[in-house]
Amino acid sequence: MSGSPKSPEIPVMLVCENDVFIAVTQSLLIKESAVFKAKLSTKWQGEDEPENIKEEINIVSTADQQKGVFVFGKDRVEIHPKVIKIKEYKGEAVKLVIEWIKGYEILLSTCKDFTVLSEMLILVDFYDIPRPVSAIQNRIFALEVDKDNLIQAMAAVGSLEKLKLGQDIATTLETRCIKFA
C-alpha cells in the first residue's frame, strides 16, 4: 500500500431542464466525453488546483453539509460538487445517458419515447460521448411505430435529420412511419 491517502472522487452535479439534478463522478464524465474532459480540466478553469477540493482541519458543521459540503475520511477533505448546467436537454434524456454509461444499460430498454431517444442522440453527439450511440440507435429501431407514437416518431425524424450521425437513423425511421401511415 502506498503511504499517500486516496483522493476522494469529485462529484459533478448536472442540472437539467425542469431542475432535474443528476450526480455523476468527474472521472466517468472525463472518461466518456472529450467535451467534459476539456470542460473539467484545470486548463479550462485556468488554475493549478481544482477549486472544489480544499483541505480543512475543522469539522464541517451540519449546516454546511446541508449546503452541499461533504466531509470524507479522517483528513477532513471538503468537496464541493461541480455544477454543470445542461438546460437544453430533457432531464430524462440526460439521466438515461448517464445511467447507461454508469453501466445500467437495461434502463435504456424502458424508454419508449422516440423524442427522448432522439434527444439522447443529440446529447451524445454534442458532448462527444460515442459509446452509447449504437445502443440508442438499436433502441429506436426496436420500438414499434403505432398510432400512439407516430407523431413522436416524426418529431424524432425532424430532430435527427439535422445531425450527421442521425441522418441514416432519421431516414429509416421516416420510412417506418410512412409504412405505418
C-alpha grid cell for residue 91?
A: 432531464
Q: CA-to-CA distance for 81 and 51, rounded, in angstroms?
A: 10
Q: What is the mean pLDDT of residues 56-72?
A: 49
- Matching residue, cell 433502441: 139
C-alpha grid cell for residue 108?
A: 435504456
Q: CA-to-CA distance for 17 and 34, rounded, in angstroms?
A: 23
**3-state DSSP helix/strand/coil percent for the chain, to nearest 5?**
50, 15, 35
Q: Is 181 exposed, middle or buried (0-12, 13-18, 19+ CB in 10 A)?
A: exposed
Categorize the per-residue pLDDT at 53 as very low, low, confident or very high, splitting at 50, 70 and 90.
Answer: very low
Q: What is the mean pLDDT of residues 40-62?
A: 51
Mean pLDDT over each residue of the chain, to the nearest integer: 82
What is the number of alpha carbons within 13 Å of residue 151 lying toward its C-beta?
1
Which phi and psi angles does 24 have, rounded to 5°? -150, 150
Q: Are 11 and 83 in contact (CB under 8 A)?
A: no
Q: Are 52 and 9 in contact (CB under 8 A)?
A: no
Which residue type does 181 have? Answer: A
Q: What is the mean pLDDT of residues 145-165?
A: 93
Residue 158 has pLDDT above 50, yes or no: yes
pLDDT at residue 174 in the model: 94
